[in-house]
Amino acid sequence: MAESKKSKAAAKTTSAKTTSAKTTSAKTTPAKASAAKASPPAAARVRLQVGEPAPSFSATITDGSTIHSKDLLGKPVVVYFYPRDDTPGCTKEACGFRDAHADLRKAGAVVLGVSADPVKSHVKFTDKYQLPFALISDPEATVAQAFGAWGEKVFMGRRYLGMHRMTFLVGGDGKILRIWDAVKPETHAAEVLEAVRSA
């Protein structure tokens, strides 16, 4: 009888572990599937050139409203793409634009940051660092792909799709005046301000 009780207890334990494993599997699978769906599809990167018209776009910004590129004609626009909210390099870059924002506005420029983060994340990032400019939420990388800022990246030998750190200065006529595809987050805002002033 003792052996029988032990066998039953062991069977229950095994059954519980199996059930737990199934539950864990069921919980993780949708998350993985969701993450896979969240990543925009691969596409050949567009290579824009100085002097050509900047892509037109409509997108959701920090306050939940929609911004249209056509409404920005007549003034220089700084469109900077960055990988992710509240990460070291992206925070340095955003704070650089924050600190230079008053001077950029005096020069007549509008600053727009773009990442694939949702609006909720942009709101937290904006509030945390008191960013005075709008951030575009581009989860499907629609704007990024149009500008050529979305594509394959390599980190420690691993290849993946993501946002490239790039900046575009668009003139009041809607044409690209300057492209930065090698950005140093710490000093980038100063470079952009100089370019805006001399445009």
pLDDT digits (tens, 9 = 90+) for 73-124: 999 999 999 999 999 999 999 999 999 999 999 999 999 999 999 999 999 9
**What global pTM score does this model have?**
0.79
Spacing of C-alpha 161 from chain mean position: 12
Sign of CA dihedral 80, 83, 86, 89: negative
For residue range 37-87, list pLDDT tens digits in order: 456 666 678 899 999 999 999 999 999 999 999 999 999 999 999 999 999
Catalytic: 95? no
Nearest Cα neighbor of 61 from 98, 2, 110, 107 is 110
CB-based contact 112:136 (threshold 8 Å): yes
Instruction: Pull the structure tokens for residue 177.
Output: 């005046």
Q: How far apart are the C-alpha atoms of 146 and 80, rounded to whole Å?
A: 13
* CA distances, 50 to each of 57, 58, 90, 144, 147 (Å): 18, 22, 25, 17, 12
User: Which is the catalytic residue, given 61, 90, 114, 116?
Assistant: 90
pLDDT for residue 46 = 84
Q: Which of 38-42, 116-120, 131-135, 137-141 has the lowest mean pLDDT?
A: 38-42
pLDDT for residue 155 = 80
